[in-house]
């Protein structure tokens, strides 16, 4: 019996990709953040935002617009951004796993943040378990960054390739945030197994000493 070859959903720009281009965004991912923002009341004028994995720049442009001239957005990605940067945003090429070098120093300079965003995704290998494990590592790193640099009451969003690791990650999220939500935005492609974890209110760290 002959089987029909599977259609590749990434082969042609879909309606959201075309809409993103027409609205000045380099990628359709902007509509995922827009939905999370709408549902969780994430972004407001004057906030300081950190955008981890910011290339090609849709989330950064959206966040910069939402926080306005009184706010600021700092982004980092392994890849250099090719977009024209809004005046209230700055981005560098760097690795979010950097713990004591120039990338972490750059992230620390903008702290404390009101919102930490991560749409980071590993380069996929074709092995689902490897990709899930790498995605979970990225999410854990964003939690470490949030713990170090997010203001009390601040919000965190991170993308996860869904896996059993969610159970342990959720424990960490509950320890750091007063609430947790799991969102699969409408703009997510049907074949994708990604979800977005949201921690809307960072707990106040225990007083030192």
Residues contacting ligand SAM: total by CB under 6 A:
22
Our answer to whether residue 159 is catalytic in this structure is: yes
- CB 118, CB 158: distance < 8 Å: yes
Among 47, 58, 172, 188, binds ligand SAM (CB under 6 A): 58
Residue 102 touching ligand SAM (CB under 6 A): no
- DSSP annotation of 101 reads S
Cα(200)–Cα(179) distance, integer angstroms: 6
- Residue 120 binds ligand SAM (CB under 6 A): yes
Question: Which conformational region is residue 57 in: left (phi greater than 0), alpha (psi within -120 to 50 degrees), or beta?
Answer: left
* Closest to 121 (Cα-Cα) out of 183, 56, 74, 180: 56
Select the residue whose beta carbon is closest to ligand SAM and give its number: 53
Given 21, 65, 70, 159, the catalytic residue: 159
Is the Cβ of residue 97 or residue 174 nearer to ligand SAM in the bound state?
97
Contacting ligand SAM (CB under 6 A), which of 78, 105, 175, 191? 78
Please select the residue that binds ligand SAM; options are 14, 35, 40, 56, rule is CB under 6 A. 56
Dist CA 23 CA 38 (whole Å) = 18
Q: Which of the residues are catalytic? A: 159
């Amino acid at each position: 019996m002959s089987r029909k070859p599977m259609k590749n959903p990434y082969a042609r720009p879909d309606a959201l990709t075309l809409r993103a281009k027409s609205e000045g965004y380099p990628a359709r991912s902007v509509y995922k953040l827009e939905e999370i923002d709408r549902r969780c009341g994430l972004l407001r004028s004057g906030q300081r935002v950190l955008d981890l994995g910011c290339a090609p720049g849709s989330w950064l442009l959206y966040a910069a617009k939402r926080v306005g001239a009184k706010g600021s957005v700092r982004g980092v990605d392994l890849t250099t951004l090719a977009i024209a940067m809004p005046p209230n945003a700055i981005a560098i090429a760097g690795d979010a796993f950097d713990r004591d070098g120039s990338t972490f120093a750059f992230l620390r300079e903008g702290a404390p943040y009101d919102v930490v965003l991560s749409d980071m995704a590993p380069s996929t290998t074709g092995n689902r378990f490897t990709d899930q494990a790498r995605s979970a590592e990225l999410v854990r790193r964003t939690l470490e960054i949030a713990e170090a640099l997010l203001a009390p009451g601040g919000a965190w969003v991170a993308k996860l390739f869904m896996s059993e690791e969610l159970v342990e990650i959720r424990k960490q999220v509950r320890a750091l945030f007063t609430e947790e939500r799991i969102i699969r935005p409408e703009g997510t492609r049907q074949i994708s197994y990604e979800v977005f974890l949201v921690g809307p209110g960072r707990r106040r760290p225990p007083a030192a000493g």
